[in-house]
Amino acid sequence: MYSEKVMEHFHNPRNVGEIEDADGIGNVGNPRCGDIMKMYLKIEDDTIVDVKFKTFGCGSAIASSSMATELIKGKTIDEAMNITNKAVAGALDGLPPIKMHCSILAEQAIKSALLDYSQKSGVHIDGLEDFDPTDDPHDHH
């Protein structure tokens, strides 16, 4: 059902944990649907120098979180803003159709953490104007 890449990231997820003095924290999903992602960012000079995540969810939710952190670590805020759910799913060699919402959740987790950073620091981030972190990814099927 899952690609080898998904299984590999599920069994050896990168960047699991919390960042105590995080500059931005994103929290998306809800326990009713069976998936929650929490993402912590450490940002210096417009660059994501560290990222950690915690996820409650299925194999693809954990793998998507792990892949998302890999894709944004060391990247600028603009670069991170351009990471789409398709990029996350693609980097995992694809997800089953019914699991695509996991990659959407990962994209939302990144944006939600950046939004938190923007609000706390006052730094404007292009592209977050219309972002709604409570948007339900399950509606995107």
Partner 1 sequence: MKKLIYMDNAATTPTRQEVLDDMLPYFNIQYGNPSSVYSLGSRSRTAVEKSREIIGNMINAGEREIFFTAGGTEADNWAVRGVAYANKDKGNHIITSKVEHQGIIHTCEYLEKQGFAVTYLDVDEYGIVDLEQLEESITDETILISIMFANNEIGTVQPIKEIGEIAKERNIYFHTDAVQAIGNIRIDVDELNIDMLSMAAHKFHGPKGIGALYIRRGVKIDPLIIGGGQERNRRAGTENVPGIVGMGKAIELAYENLDEKNEKLIQLRERLIKGIFDNIDHVRLNGHPTKRLPGNVNICFEFIEGESLLLSLDMEGIAGSSGSACTSGTLEPSHVLLSIGLPHEIAHGSLRLSLGDNNTAEEVDYVVEKLVGIVSRLRAMSPLYEQFKGGN
Nearer to partner 1, 32 or 124 (CB): 32
Contact call for residue 94 and partner 1 (CB under 8 A): no
What does the radius of gyration of the chain's CA atoms come to, in whole angstroms?
14
Contact call for residue 89 and partner 1 (CB under 8 A): no
- Using DSSP's 3-state secondary structure scheme, residue 68 falls into helix
Nearer to partner 1, 38 or 73 (CB): 38
Q: Are the beta carbons of 115 and 122 closer than 8 angstroms?
A: no
Exposure letters 107-133 (e unless 16+ CB within 10 A, then b) = bbbbbbbbbbbeeeeeeebeebeeeeb
Which positions from 2 to 41 touch partner 1 by CB under 8 A, shown as an x/- string? x----x--xx-x--x-x--------x---xxxxxxxx---
Q: Binding residues for partner 1, per CB under 8 A?
A: 2, 7, 10-11, 13, 16, 18, 27, 31-38, 54-62, 98-99, 138
